[in-house]
């Protein structure tokens, strides 16, 4: 295959109200694994979409071997030898490995004046592609019979089958075990050794030294810089990703926290969580930091009874909870705002009013009938108290901005009168002003003695609002920290360290 150098030159992408990329210029060299990193919303996905032809830039250029290339569709990117392997695999489970690798470009043979697929040649070519990248898979096996790691290899083989000289790999290790990750790294290094240009997107910063040659960091749509892997220390990466962090209203020291309200002991789930222990105090905001796949979301769902566990003892206000379910936990004063508000936190076709009352129907209904005169003051109190911007609460919740939708999720659970709130990525996809409003809500809850567990991928958010932080890695809690005097560099280093 021909080695190709790909460059972005002053690449810009503007959406209504958002600058996703601002004059980003990066050179991706043949034979190098070039990692592209940054916080959520930094612009990584936008770069990937533009280079793969799925999205067109507002301005700027893409150069391939020094010549301008215009990608109006993924087909155009393929023609230039650029293929993308996405985090969400794009395979047909009922087809074989060989059929998936050559899907859409099966070899044909002529029979009685017509063309039919030459299945023997299909399997032969697929086998040759696998052998070329040193992957041992049975081309006759159906993809549904493979594990995630093997399916990932099929995706890469499919991309290489297009004679791709540039391979974009998006979050490839998020669902892989350690030994599977090492096998993937070996393949990536082999491809780079053959002259393939590798663009590698990851949240797992501890992987960088194992696989990358160069690291480019994006922040708020801007390129902060590109450095060699020997320079990419945790301290350097943290400064590039977060810049200077200004704390605007950090809560009082955790030393003032009240009595225990939640105790988690021996919480375990095979392959996900391992012997988790911690205590949450009255009025405390407890943060949980960790890389993607560290087990943060799984921990909150396990506590809430939404996910099964192999072993756990959960104590709420001094009482061991038996038969833990979301309904039971809600009755005990525990609420959960899920990571995906659109799929799990709200019913998009229902009104703002109804979404604010989903978890508290017993307060506003009698014999299964909703009483509007009971519902109205509950809704009005939340709209005013949370600052939800809506002209009419009979409008569908889908019509609201992301920040206001998140406030509706909060209001829905606050209407249950909780004593413990579990917040999973509550600021994802909302603007800076809405984030500060969410933080103030959490501080207000703390002041009223309501305790919170706050999961966020944004370390500066945890430092700004939490009293203590637990650090998770691979399903384990590895350390506990006070936020007093704690910097983002140290926290990032602890989330990355094995």
Q: What is the pLDDT at residue 254?
A: 45
Alpha helix stretches (DSSP H) within 263-359: 296-304, 326-331, 352-355
Contact 407, 387 (CB under 8 A): yes
Same domain for 223 and 259, yes or no, is no
pLDDT tens by residue, 376-397: 888 888 888 888 888 888 889 9
Q: Select from 185, 218, 242 the last residue of a domain.
A: 242
Bridge partners of 104, per DSSP, are none
Same domain for 312 and 401, yes or no, is yes
Same domain for 204 and 266, yes or no, is no
Q: What is the token pair recorded at 286?
A: 């407890």
Contact 69, 82 (CB under 8 A): no
Q: Is the dihedral of CA 407, 352, 385, 357 positive or negative?
A: negative
Residue 308 domain boundaries: 254-496
Same domain for 362 and 317, yes or no, is yes
Q: Select from 221, 242, 263 the last residue of a domain.
A: 242
Choose the most confident range, by mean pLDDT, from 98-112, 274-288, 420-434.
274-288
Q: What is the token pair recorded at 153?
A: 């290899």
Contact 430, 452 (CB under 8 A): no
Choose the most confident range, by mean pLDDT, from 243-247, 307-311, 338-342, 432-436.
307-311
Cα distances (angstroms) measured from residue 3 to each of 115, 129, 158, 175: 34, 18, 18, 30
Same domain for 269 and 225, yes or no, is no
Same domain for 238 and 276, yes or no, is no
Same domain for 420 and 302, yes or no, is yes
Q: Return d(Cα 200, Cα 47) in angstroms, integer.
A: 12
Residue 146 resides in a domain: yes
Under DSSP, is residue 459 helix (H, G, I), strand (E, B) or coil?
helix
What CATH number is given to the structural domain containing 15? 3.40.50.300
Same domain for 42 and 85, yes or no, is yes
Average pLDDT of every residue of the chain: 87
Residue 1 resides in a domain: no
Q: Select from 242, 263, 291 the last residue of a domain.
A: 242
Residue 367 resides in a domain: yes
Residue 272 resides in a domain: yes
Same domain for 315 and 383, yes or no, is yes
Q: What is the token pair recorded at 459?
A: 């370390």
Same domain for 47 and 67, yes or no, is yes
Residue 153 resides in a domain: yes
Q: Return d(Cα 497, Cα 473) in angstroms, integer.
A: 9
Residue 260 has pLDDT above 90, yes or no: yes
Same domain for 209 and 357, yes or no, is no
Residue 319 resides in a domain: yes
Residue 322 has pLDDT above 80, yes or no: yes
Q: End-to-end alpha-carbon separation of the chain, Å? A: 37
Contact 321, 328 (CB under 8 A): yes
Residue 247 resides in a domain: no
The total number of structural domains in the chain stands at 2
Same domain for 169 and 311, yes or no, is no
């Amino acid at each position: 295959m021909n080695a190709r150098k790909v460059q972005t030159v002053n690449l810009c992408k503007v959406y209504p109200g958002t600058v996703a990329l601002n004059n980003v210029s990066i050179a991706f060299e043949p034979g190098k694994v070039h990692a592209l990193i940054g916080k959520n919303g930094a612009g990584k996905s936008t770069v990937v979409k533009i280079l793969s032809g799925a999205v067109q830039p507002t301005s700027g250029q893409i150069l391939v071997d020094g010549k301008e290339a215009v990608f109006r569709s993924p087909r155009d990117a393929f023609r230039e030898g650029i293929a993308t392997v996405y985090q969400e695999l794009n395979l047909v489970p009922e087809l074989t490995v060989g059929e998936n690798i050559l899907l859409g470009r099966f070899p044909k043979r002529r029979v009685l004046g017509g063309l039919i697929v030459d299945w023997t040649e299909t399997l032969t070519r697929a086998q040759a592609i696998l052998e070329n990248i040193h992957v041992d898979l049975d081309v006759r096996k159906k993809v549904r019979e493979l594990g995630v790691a093997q399916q990932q290899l099929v995706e890469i083989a499919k991309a290489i089958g297009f004679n791709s000289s540039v391979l974009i790999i998006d979050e490839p290790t998020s669902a892989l075990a350690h030994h599977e990750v090492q096998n993937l790294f070996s393949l990536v290094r082999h491809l780079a050794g053959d002259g393939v240009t590798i663009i590698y997107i990851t949240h797992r910063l501890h992987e960088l030294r194992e696989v990358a040659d160069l690291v480019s960091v994006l922040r708020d749509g801007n390129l902060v810089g590109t450095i060699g892997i020997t320079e990419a220390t945790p301290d350097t990466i943290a400064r590039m990703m977060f810049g200077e962090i200004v704390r605007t209203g950090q809560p009082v020291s955790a030393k003032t926290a009240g009595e225990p309200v939640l105790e988690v002991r021996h919480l375990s789930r095979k392959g996900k969580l391992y012997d988790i222990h911690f205590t949450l105090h009255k009025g405390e905001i407890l943060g949980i930091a960790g890389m993607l796949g560290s087990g943060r979301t799984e921990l909150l769902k396990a506590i809430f009874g939404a996910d099964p566990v192999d072993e756990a003892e959960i104590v709420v206000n001094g009482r061991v909870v038996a038969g833990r379910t979301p309904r039971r936990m809600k009755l005990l004063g525990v609420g959960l705002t899920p990571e995906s508000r659109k799929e799990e936190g709200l019913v998009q076709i229902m009104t703002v009013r109804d979404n604010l009352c989903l978890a508290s129907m017993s307060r506003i209904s009698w014999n299964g009938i909703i009483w509007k005169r009971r519902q109205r003051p509950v809704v009005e109190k939340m709209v005013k108290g949370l600052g939800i911007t809506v002209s009419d609460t009979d409008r569908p919740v889908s019509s609201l901005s992301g920040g206001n939708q998140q406030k509706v999720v909060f209001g829905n659970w606050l209407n249950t009168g909780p004593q413990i709130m579990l917040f999973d990525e509550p600021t994802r996809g909302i603007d800076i002003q809405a984030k500060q409003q969410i933080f103030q809500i959490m501080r207000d809850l703390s002041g009223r003695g309501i305790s919170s567990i706050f999961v966020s991928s944004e370390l500066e958010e945890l430092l700004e609002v939490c009293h203590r932080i637990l650090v998770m890695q691979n399903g384990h809690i590895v350390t506990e920290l006070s936020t007093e005097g704690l910097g983002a560099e140290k926290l990032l280093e602890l989330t990355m360290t094995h």
